[in-house]
């Protein structure tokens, strides 16, 4: 048991080491910007991971390139441009709004709108059903008439 535990610990440390690279940064701002970009840029190979999470060779290259660009004084905009020039807007997890990406940006609002419409329809139906229930209840006059009728029938039966 202890051996298994020790072994599993070993496995964990290996997995964690896989995406840790030791980059030296000239200052804290560069490190922050590096972290920001590796979170926001998507790995072109393993398409549902960002650069910080991916261990594919291309992600390693892009991280190295990112580190170089940051230290060469590229601005955020220039770095984004550099990446998009090579890998297309696909690498951005926050693509700019244009014809192709419009549906991505509008879809959440559209779905929310649909949901609101659905809720309104359901509530309206329920209210209408409630009103119907009320109108189906007999008014005082109608109730009297009904009792009379029933009584008349009962009497008629007695006579037979």
Kindly tell me which of 57 and 140 has the beta carbon lying closer to another protein: 57
Distance (Å, rounded) from C-alpha 89 to C-alpha 95? Answer: 6
Kindly tell me which of 62 and 70 has the beta carbon lying closer to another protein: 62
For the CB of residue 87, give the shortest distance to another protein in the complex, in Å: 5
For the CB of residue 83, give the shortest distance to another protein in the complex, in Å: 9
Kindly tell me which of 52 and 56 has the beta carbon lying closer to another protein: 56
Kindly tell me which of 122 and 138 has the beta carbon lying closer to another protein: 122
Residue 59 CB neighbours (<10 A): 23
For the CB of residue 58, give the shortest distance to another protein in the complex, in Å: 5
Going by C-alpha positions, the residue among 58, 81, 57, 59 that lies closest to residue 69 is: 81
| The two three-digit tokens of residue 34, written as one number | 């590096």
Quickly list H helices, the chain: 2-18, 28-40, 57-71, 76-87, 102-136, 140-159
Kindly tell me which of 33 and 59 has the beta carbon lying closer to another protein: 59
For the CB of residue 64, give the shortest distance to another protein in the complex, in Å: 9
Q: How many residues does the chain have?
A: 160
For the CB of residue 57, give the shortest distance to another protein in the complex, in Å: 7
* Interacting residue ranges for another protein, rule: CB under 8 A: 44-45, 47, 56-58, 61-62, 65, 84-88, 90
**Phi, psi dihedral angles at 92 (to 5 degrees):** -90, 125
* Contact indicator for 46, 59 with CB cutoff of 8 Å: yes
The residue whose two tokens read 């991916």 is 54
């Amino acid at each position: 048991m202890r051996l298994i535990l020790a072994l599993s610990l070993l496995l964990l440390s290996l997995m964690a080491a896989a995406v840790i690279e030791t980059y030296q940064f000239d200052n804290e701002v560069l490190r922050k910007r590096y972290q920001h970009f590796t979170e926001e840029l998507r790995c072109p190979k393993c398409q549902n991971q960002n650069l910080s999470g991916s261990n594919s060779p291309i992600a390693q290259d892009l991280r190295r390139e990112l580190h170089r660009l940051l230290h060469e004084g590229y601005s955020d905009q220039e770095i984004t441009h550099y990446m998009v020039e090579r890998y297309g807007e696909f690498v951005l997890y926050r693509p700019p709004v244009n014809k192709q990406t419009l549906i991505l940006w509008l879809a959440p609002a559209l779905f929310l709108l649909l949901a609101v419409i659905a809720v309104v329809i359901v509530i309206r139906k329920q209210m209408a059903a409630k009103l119907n229930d009320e109108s189906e209840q007999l008014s005082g006059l109608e109730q009297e008439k009904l009792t009379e009728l029933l009584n008349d029938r009962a009497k008629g039966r007695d006579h037979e």
